[in-house]
Structures are given as structure tokens and as C-alpha cells.
Amino acid sequence: MVRKAVLNDVQDIFDIVEASASKGLMLPRALTDICDSLRDFFVYEEGGEVLGACALHISSVDMGEIRSLAVREGSTGRGIGRKLVEACLIEARSIGLKKVFALTYKTGFFSKLAFKPISKEVLPHKIWGDCIKCVKFPNCDENAMIIDLNGRIAAGFSGKEGAA
């Protein structure tokens, strides 16, 4: 089940994100940073255990960012990441965002959700504030991808999936 994160999820989110960050798959997030942005997060819970997390961060008046998408080791390949991103897209559309982007190494995953490659230079400048914290800055090797929420959403995405 996908649901909005609550305070009791903070440690699980931290552990899941930290496991991916330690492999170089994403930026690490401090526990205090997760607390500060808890309202951005969705979690996937099964049998009382949090198996995945994803955040929708508002970047500008019409654009949001998918952040900290991670699934607990041993639970990947089950559609958990897709459900989390779909929940973020539902929320993005419901609050009036027109576009959502992600910086990722998993372009195939996002392509399946109808995200398209885009140049990082066209993204809001304030996203680079987080990049300064990255060990790869200024030589970022992540790929920028974006989805336009005006009109049609990803094939097979009705806007009802992901909500629990």
C-alpha cells in the first residue's frame, strides 16, 4: 500500500535512502532533512514494513521534482518504485503542477512512465543548491527526465493508481 509518510516512517526512509546512497545511486539525506521534508514523502508499506520511499518536491510554481526514490534491497523489481512515482504524479497533478522532473541514473525506469530526456540547463536554478552537497559536483553524471502533466499522462496511468 502506498500512503503519505508519517513521523514513525522517518527512520525507515532514512535507512532505505542511505542504502541506495551508499551505492552511489542517489544523494544521501540526513535524518533532519527527511524530517524537514516529511510532507513531500510517500512510502510503500507491506505487512507493517516500509519497503520503499519517494518524495515530490515543489521546485517552482508549475514544476516539481521526484526525489529520493528508493526501494529496500530484496524488494526491487516488484513495481514498488512505479507505484510510488505514480502516487507523486497524482499529487503533482492535484496541486496544479504542470511538469515533474527527476535526476536519475535509471532512465529506462522513468521512460516507462512517459518521462522524456531533457537538458539539465532548462531546470529551475534552485535545484542546484542540493547539487553542491554531491561529491560529483560540478561533474554530475545523472540524467534529467521530465513528464508534462498537461493533457495525457503516462500510458496505463489513469491517475487512480498508487493512492491507498
Indicate the pLDDT class of residue 121, thresholds 50, 70 and 90: confident
Q: Which CATH class is domain 2-148?
A: alpha beta
> Span 140-158, mean pLDDT?
68
Q: What is the mean pLDDT of the chain?
A: 86
Residues contacting residue 77 through CB under 8 Å, at least 6 positions apart: none
Q: Say if residues 67 and 84 touch (Cβ distance below 8 Å).
A: no
The predicted structure's pLDDT at residue 81: 97
> Span 109-133, mean pLDDT?
77
Indicate the pLDDT class of residue 27, thresholds 50, 70 and 90: confident
Residue 56 has pLDDT above 50, yes or no: yes
Is the four-CA dihedral 127, 129, 132, 133 of positive or negative sign? negative
Q: Where are the domains of the chain?
A: 2-148
The predicted structure's pLDDT at residue 161: 37
> Span 93-118, mean pLDDT?
94
Worst-scoring range by mean pLDDT, 9-13, 42-46, 119-123?
119-123
DSSP secondary structure letter of residue 125: G
Residue 89 has pLDDT above 80, yes or no: yes
Indicate the pLDDT class of residue 31, thresholds 50, 70 and 90: very high
Is the four-CA dihedral 27, 157, 90, 123 of positive or negative sign? positive
The predicted structure's pLDDT at residue 152: 46
Residue 44 has pLDDT above 70, yes or no: yes
> Span 101-121, mean pLDDT?
92
> Span 13-22, mean pLDDT?
95
